[in-house]
């Protein structure tokens, strides 16, 4: 991780490698990259780790799920 820290300092980015990793995972999940692929990129041995850390349990996430179900229901 030394290279990442050096690159951040050179670019004047105030972020730790852990913060960058979290941001990457969050962007991938938000862009609907498959969770299995996110698991592989992050080298998690278990998909549960990826699911627990990076899936959305917020009210906004629940609203999105409700809307998706409503669209499917209306399409049928």
Mean pLDDT score, 17-44 = 88
From CA 20, how far away is CA 1, in angstroms rounded? 11
- Write the DSSP string, 10-22: HTT----HHHHHH
From CA 9, how far away is CA 2, in angstroms rounded? 11
Q: How confident is the model at residue 43 (pLDDT cuts 50, 70, 90)?
A: very high
CA angle, 40 as apex, 36 and 21 as ends, to 5°? 110
Mean pLDDT score, 11-17 = 84
């Amino acid at each position: 991780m030394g290279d990442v820290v050096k690159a951040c300092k050179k670019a004047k980015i105030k972020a730790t490698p852990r913060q960058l990793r979290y941001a990457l995972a969050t962007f991938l999940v938000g862009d609907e990259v498959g969770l299995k692929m996110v698991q592989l990129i992050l080298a998690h041995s278990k998909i549960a780790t990826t699911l627990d850390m990076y899936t959305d349990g917020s009210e906004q996430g629940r609203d999105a799920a409700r809307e998706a179900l409503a669209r499917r229901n209306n399409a049928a």
